[in-house]
């Protein structure tokens, strides 16, 4: 059966969460979230282990986690879109990096371009491989790669999909320092291009530098949302993590969060 036709996505739309949240076993994982994310927003979702960051992102992406409330991109209700339509609007880099071992890297990245029906699959795939700095892996089998290489391949798949909403679930967890910085730059570049980027992060210093907005989830279901320096205040971080912290700035203007 052919998928219903979809209007070409535009970068001019706002992503609106209206009393939205994820739930499992009939239990809400957080208080209802009501947020408006403008084009160019890079939202960092942070909080302690088990607070529901991945579940929230999976619920947004309609990837195996149930949700309540509403989420709209412009006038489109994302929960009512056909999967093929949704793939033109939203892409997801999940923590689960599983894919068929026998696939070549280029073939896996091309799946992203095909999902959003890019016109020139070969060009889109090559560009994404270059942007993720893995062109040298193009003919390698996915099953022969390290964890960090697989994460970069999945990043390239998302880049090839080229959607106006991009969701990353802990995109730097398996990467070395060089590639962590490269992913940070990629998130900034996507935001500067007018995309809406939502990323779950454990590295609060990375969140300070890469994100324009922060959503701090707490184990009691409450949350704080706003500018990075406003949300990652010592009292909020201590209440969420039980750790005393302070924010510092290097001579070059890069901020980092230190524990005390």
Residue 7 · residue 71 · CB < 8 Å: no
Residue 31 · residue 21 · CB < 8 Å: yes
Domain 15-259, CATH homologous superfamily name and number? P-loop containing nucleotide triphosphate hydrolases (3.40.50.300)
Closest CA to 196 of 205, 204, 187, 185: 187
Domain ranges of the chain: 15-259
Question: So what's the pLDDT on residue 27?
Answer: 85
Tens-digit pLDDT profile for residues 53-100: 999 999 999 998 999 999 999 999 998 999 999 999 999 999 999 999
CA-based radius of gyration for the chain: 18
Confidence category of residue 186, pLDDT binned at 50, 70, 90: very high
Structure tokens at 217: 């989830």
Tens-digit pLDDT profile for residues 161-179: 999 999 999 999 999 999 9
Residue 8 · residue 191 · CB < 8 Å: no
Structure tokens at 14: 């706002």
Residue 223 · residue 33 · CB < 8 Å: yes
Q: What phi, psi does 251 have (nearest 5°)?
A: -55, -25
Q: Is the pLDDT of residue 253 over 70?
A: yes
Residue 150 · residue 126 · CB < 8 Å: no
Structure tokens at 259: 């524990």
């Amino acid at each position: 059966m052919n998928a219903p036709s979809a209007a070409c996505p535009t970068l001019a739309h706002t992503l609106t969460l209206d009393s939205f949240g994820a739930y499992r076993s009939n239990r809400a994982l957080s208080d209802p979230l009501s947020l408006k994310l403008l084009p160019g927003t890079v939202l960092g979702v942070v909080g302690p282990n088990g607070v529901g960051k991945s579940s929230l992102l999976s619920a947004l992406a309609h990837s195996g986690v149930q949700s309540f409330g509403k989420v709209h991109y412009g006038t489109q209700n994302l929960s009512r879109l056909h999967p093929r339509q949704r793939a033109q609007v939203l892409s997801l880099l999940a923590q689960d990096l599983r894919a068929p071992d026998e696939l070549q890297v280029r073939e896996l990245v091309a799946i992203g371009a095909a999902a959003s029906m890019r016109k020139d699959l070969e060009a889109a795939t090559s560009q994404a491989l270059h942007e993720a700095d893995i062109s040298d892996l193009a003919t390698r089998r996915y099953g022969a790669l390290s964890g960090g290489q697989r994460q970069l391949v999945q990043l390239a798949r998302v880049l090839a999909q080229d959607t106006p909403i991009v969701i990353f679930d802990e995109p730097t967890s398996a990467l070395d320092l060089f590639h962590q910085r490269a992913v940070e730059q990629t998130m900034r570049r996507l935001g500067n291009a007018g995309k809406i980027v939502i990323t779950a992060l454990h590295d609060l210093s990375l969140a300070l530098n890469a994100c324009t907005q922060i959503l701090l989830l707490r184990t009691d279901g409450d949350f704080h949302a706003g500018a990075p320096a406003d949300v990652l205040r010592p009292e909020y971080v201590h209440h969420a993590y039980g750790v005393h912290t302070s924010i510092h700035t290097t001579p070059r203007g890069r901020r980092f969060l230190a524990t005390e």
